[in-house]
Structure 1
Amino acid sequence: MIDFKQILSVSLILFSVIDILGSIPIIINLRKKVGHIQSEKATLAAGVLMIAFLLVGKSILGLFGIGVEDFAIAGALIIFALGAEMILGIELFKPDPEATSSASIVPIAFPLIAGAGTLTTILTLKAEFEQVNIAIGILLNLIFVYIVLKSTSWLERKLGKTGVDVLRRIFGIILLSIAVKIFKTNAFPITVG
């Protein structure tokens, strides 16, 4: 059932994890190297990855005998690491700078948009939210990602380095809080009766 509160929560969580605004410097550098980035192609490829993982990610885990709660805890740890990375200004997840031949897919669609953190988060969200609301949250984020990809140079001028840094740190704190909540919910479930 469609729940606007869930959609808003999912959208904000994914927005923080995808961190497309924080990726603007990487995208600008890549654009200088390869000349042009196909925003439509990058957004579509990232969307296919995210929706596929939403639909069959649990089945893939089942093949390895891993429960959603176990994956949620692992996801919480990755989200925590991403949040710490954003706040501390360190780089744990590094894109491959040599991948210039298909820059719209690698590294923009994967791993910048639909990377390990995003895919883990999508599966982790399934423990808390309904699938339809997650799918809508994914689509809303993809629309935003597309707009940002189309207007990176304009955004760079308007936000400036300080603006991008401030946004990155704010979303880092939000991610740390979300990671703690997901960890607590899945590591220490409340038993009734």
Structure 2
Amino acid sequence: MDFNFKEIFTAFMVLFAVIDIVGNIPIIIDLRKKAGHIQSEKASLIAGIIMIIFLFLGQSLLSLIGIDVNSFAVAGSFILFFIALEMILGITLYKDNDGDFNAITASVFPLAFPLIAGPGSLTTLLSLRAEFHIENIIAAVLLNVILIYIVLKTSSKIERIIGPNGIQIIRKVFGVILLAIAVKLFAQNIKALFI
């Protein structure tokens, strides 16, 4: 075991920025309205499990099905792009076909995956693995999961403090930020596909 607090903190901050749970509060509130309730424990736990499994098996899993990290990141950038469009334009692109959009469905998809443990955070985990010791990355993931749980649990209180107009403003601002992240993720990885 080679625990290094500097590594844990750096990995934590990188993941925190990519997951952007605070920026996702408007989406979380939106999901709660659609589903009636969100299972915070379940969403946090599933997201954490997905991230830790992907940390160990991600690279081999992708190469097994013939997908490289860059292709995965480009696909992820499209998902982020469409989520950002929903936030900025106030439209709904994601529709649950069977109409059974309940608390369990919403907690797993799209909350745990791809919103929290999405292509952005999963590709970030792969790049962190090349840089840091695995136990430090796991510690950073666990700290993020705790923080995600706290934000999910208190999102309705945050909504009351900010108010509906504040949420709309935050939603649009973070939509633009998410759009920028999607463009950056696309631009960084599309080059590698044509080399």
**TM-score with structure 2 setting the length:** 0.73
Unaligned runs of 5+ in 2: none
Distance, in Å, in 1 between the alignment partners of 2:179 and 2:160 is: 29
Q: 1:60 to 1:44 in 2, by over 3 A?
A: same
- Helix, strand or coil: the match of 2:183? helix
- Helix, strand or coil: the match of 1:93? coil
Asked if structure 1 preserves the Cα contact closer than 8 Å seen for 2:44 and 2:148, the reply is: yes
What percentage of residue pairs aligned between the two structures are identical? 41
Asked if structure 2 preserves the Cα contact closer than 8 Å seen for 1:27 and 1:108, the reply is: no
Asked if structure 2 preserves the Cα contact closer than 8 Å seen for 1:80 and 1:180, the reply is: yes
Matches within 5 A, 1:57-96: 57-95=58-96
Amino acid at match of 1:71: F
2:185 to 171, 178, 182: 182
Distance, in Å, in 1 between the alignment partners of 2:152 and 2:127 is: 30
- Alignment partner of 1:173 is 2:176: yes
Amino acid at match of 2:163: G
Distance, in Å, in 2 between the alignment partners of 1:85 and 1:154 is: 23
> Which has the larger share of helix?
2
Distance, in Å, in 2 between the alignment partners of 1:186 and 1:140 is: 28
Amino acid at match of 1:30: A
Distance, in Å, in 1 between the alignment partners of 2:150 and 2:21 is: 16
CA-CA distance at 1:183 after TM superposition: 2.2
**TM-score with structure 1 setting the length:** 0.74
- Alignment partner of 1:98 is 2:100: yes
Amino acid at match of 1:64: I
CA-CA distance at 1:150 after TM superposition: 2.2
